Chain A
């Protein structure tokens, strides 16, 4: 087999793995959009916030230490204990549920019935607010996150492919774990929304707010639940990305990368988010591999958006989205 083709295969495999991570973030968007029609720009910052909270709890950092020190002139930074990863993840989840409640109570409840674009802008404001709070709580320096996920090159794949092609593929263990977890998460979400009482209620709310209200579904509860689930997805995405590239501000920018994924897949479709993520992941890696060197590299920065833009011109509702019907 020619070398170029083997390299391309490795690029495609890595692209698929990256695509899964994009899809993880995109899932959070789809959930909230389906249930409340809100396009939640803050999803990426939620992932950052979750990852920072997790690191902070694991290291026993004092929340708002910098602020407290600045106001009272004290020098506290750490409680002096370390929390085991599993317990820290549970505590972080509790924080995300609280966040979901706060968002619902103080922001979204007051904006019910506003135009979608106003809601979108409100979530941009929420993203800024949350980012500032996260930085104030835990400090803005780059942190490493290690919850015990395997990392580094997968030797088995390396050896197997070396025996077949005479060239060992480089696949990160973390990416494989991420793929498995994403698959599990999607399966769990599908089961949840199809077969549980709360999941059905969630779909009912997505279908028609007023009809759902009139059969006795509490909108308030469903929305808090949806934001909590989105917080959970954000936590998973935050752990994956945080382990991969450190917990830092750029983590929140993956939300922007998730947007073209959503546009390709359609805002309302969970499978769409997965397929869109894979297309974008493979597409941008292949494009960078094939065309990138000719035009100066770093095409990953824009390829996804331009691909989505061109795609949308031909199919405005995305691959799996519901057909947009407009009436006067």
Chain B
């Protein structure tokens, strides 16, 4: 009743192969876009932007990136934190070197630089598989963080070793720094997220995505039927790192403003993003959104319920959060290995027939 495809006839191939072939999905997508672009910027305030919306948007980009690598191409990476750091530092160097260039260009270039680094660290994936690769990506994680910590050129020889985002604007509107208005930072990140999601969705529907999935499902068989593993794996690493780099750049420049690399982009960040895509659903763009939303919301909800309503000490709430996240990961892997995205799919199946299942 609420979700139906009856009566939705396609008369051309273009209609049939559009991103959302079902009318209901398409309208829902337009409504979400309209609310995100047309309503939220007018009612947003600093608290909502900083506590929920900005982290959600930025983590969603990172989750889409990692999902391409892990969920679609099957190459497990624990180096997300390191690649986000590359994006952040590339963005910082560009921002300080070319103050007059638009932030859009800086962020995209930062993504491009991260893509190059990602391909470099992706090269071993041609010989190393499975866990061995997961551990090999740890090399990227630790080496990159160490590099940004120890080589003063990356943080412009500042005394604290931190990087601070200077004030930069897009078309005269301040985007970075403490004076940036909440709606502007929100819209800036939203634009990136929307574009990234559309690109990712279309890449995964097309030839590129199919070769990735072939490699994921069985790489030897894929090679035999003519998929080039070198090209498939390296494009996955490049696209994934590009998105992760963009999210790192936004995380530093727009969201935090000041970054100490060991704290912000440590191994815990890699696991956080990995958990997002496990809980959200491996191999699903919607899952990346759902997982990011879930893990951004969870600490906030726990803090409100545990610390503010029940009056528990914050350290207990933090420990409980570990228990809950760990428990949820295990639960999802046991009960629903395809995550929230699968739950959503099942719900849609049910809604198609509801309330007359026969």
**A70 in contact with B329 given A120-B131, A120-B134, A301-B142 (CB within 8 Å):** no
Is the CB–CB distance between B323 and A133 below 8 Å?
A: yes
Cα separation A113 to B15 with both chains bound (whole Å): 41
The smallest C-beta distance from B59 to any residue of chain A, in angstroms, reads: 17
* Chain B proximity mask over A306-324: 1 for CB below 8 Å, otherwise 0: 1011001100100000001
Is the CB–CB distance between B150 and A295 below 8 Å?
A: yes
Cα separation A295 to B330 with both chains bound (whole Å): 41
Cα separation A122 to B138 with both chains bound (whole Å): 18
Q: Which of A89-97, A177-185, A222-230, A259-267 contacts B (4 or more CB under 8 A)?
A: A259-267
Q: Which of A10-18, A124-132, A194-202, A269-277 contacts B (4 or more CB under 8 A)?
A: A124-132
Is the CB–CB distance between B127 and A316 below 8 Å?
A: yes
* Chain A proximity mask over B301-324: 1 for CB below 8 Å, otherwise 0: 000000000101101100111111
Whether, in the assembled complex, A214 has its beta carbon less than 8 Å from a beta carbon of chain B, the answer is no
Is the CB–CB distance between A107 and B131 below 8 Å?
A: no
Q: Contacts of A110 on B, CB cut-off 8 Å?
A: 334
- From B135, which residue of chain A is reached at the shortest CB distance? A259
Question: By DSSP majority rule, is chain A's interface helix, strand, loop, or mixed?
Answer: helix
Whether, in the assembled complex, B343 has its beta carbon less than 8 Å from a beta carbon of chain A, the answer is no
Question: By DSSP majority rule, is chain B's interface helix, strand, loop, or mixed?
Answer: helix
**A316 in contact with B129 given A306-B139, A306-B143 (CB within 8 Å):** yes
Q: Contacts of A328 on B, CB cut-off 8 Å?
A: 218, 220-221, 224
Which of B127, B142, B271, B313 is A66 in contact with, Cβ under 8 Å?
B313
Cα separation A296 to B142 with both chains bound (whole Å): 15
Is the CB–CB distance between B138 and A305 below 8 Å?
A: yes
Is the CB–CB distance between A302 and B146 below 8 Å?
A: yes
The smallest C-beta distance from A125 to any residue of chain B, in angstroms, reads: 3
Whether, in the assembled complex, B128 has its beta carbon less than 8 Å from a beta carbon of chain A, the answer is yes
- From A314, which residue of chain B is reached at the shortest CB distance? B127
Q: Contacts of B138 on A, CB cut-off 8 Å?
A: 256, 259-260, 305
Whether, in the assembled complex, A291 has its beta carbon less than 8 Å from a beta carbon of chain B, the answer is no
Q: Contacts of B76 on A, CB cut-off 8 Å?
A: 117, 120
Cα separation A127 to B218 with both chains bound (whole Å): 29
Chain A contact-residue range equals 35 or more
* Chain A proximity mask over B246-266: 1 for CB below 8 Å, otherwise 0: 000000000000000000000
Q: Contacts of B127 on A, CB cut-off 8 Å?
A: 312-313, 316
**A107 in contact with B330 given A70-B313, A259-B138, A296-B150 (CB within 8 Å):** yes
Whether, in the assembled complex, A39 has its beta carbon less than 8 Å from a beta carbon of chain B, the answer is yes
Which of A118, A140, A301, A316 is B128 in contact with, Cβ under 8 Å?
A316
- From B70, which residue of chain A is reached at the shortest CB distance? A117
| Number of B residues with CB within 8 Å of any CB on chain A | 50
Whether, in the assembled complex, A297 has its beta carbon less than 8 Å from a beta carbon of chain B, the answer is yes
- From A306, which residue of chain B is reached at the shortest CB distance? B139
Is the CB–CB distance between A70 and B312 below 8 Å?
A: yes
Is the CB–CB distance between A296 and B312 below 8 Å?
A: no
Whether, in the assembled complex, B124 has its beta carbon less than 8 Å from a beta carbon of chain A, the answer is yes
Cα separation A129 to B124 with both chains bound (whole Å): 32
Cα separation A30 to B313 with both chains bound (whole Å): 39
Whether, in the assembled complex, A114 has its beta carbon less than 8 Å from a beta carbon of chain B, the answer is yes
The smallest C-beta distance from A321 to any residue of chain B, in angstroms, reads: 9
Cα separation A272 to B274 with both chains bound (whole Å): 30
Cα separation A313 to B126 with both chains bound (whole Å): 9
Cα separation A70 to B142 with both chains bound (whole Å): 38
Cα separation A262 to B141 with both chains bound (whole Å): 18
Whether, in the assembled complex, A326 has its beta carbon less than 8 Å from a beta carbon of chain B, the answer is yes
With A260-B135, A302-B143, A309-B124 known, 18 other A-B pairs at CB within 8 A are A125-B327, A129-B326, A132-B320, A132-B324, A136-B316, A140-B315, A253-B267, A260-B138, A263-B135, A263-B136, A267-B131, A295-B150, A298-B146, A305-B143, A308-B135, A308-B136, A316-B127, A328-B218
What are 17 sample pairs from A and B whose C-beta atoms fall under 8 A apart? A39-B131, A70-B316, A111-B334, A122-B329, A125-B329, A128-B322, A128-B329, A130-B326, A132-B323, A132-B325, A295-B150, A302-B146, A305-B138, A305-B139, A308-B135, A313-B124, A313-B128
Using CB atoms and an 8 Å cutoff, list the residues of chain A in contact with chain B.
Answer: 39, 66-67, 70, 107, 110-111, 114, 116-118, 120-122, 124-133, 135-136, 140, 253, 256, 259-260, 262-263, 267, 295-299, 301-302, 305-306, 308-309, 312-313, 316, 324, 326-328
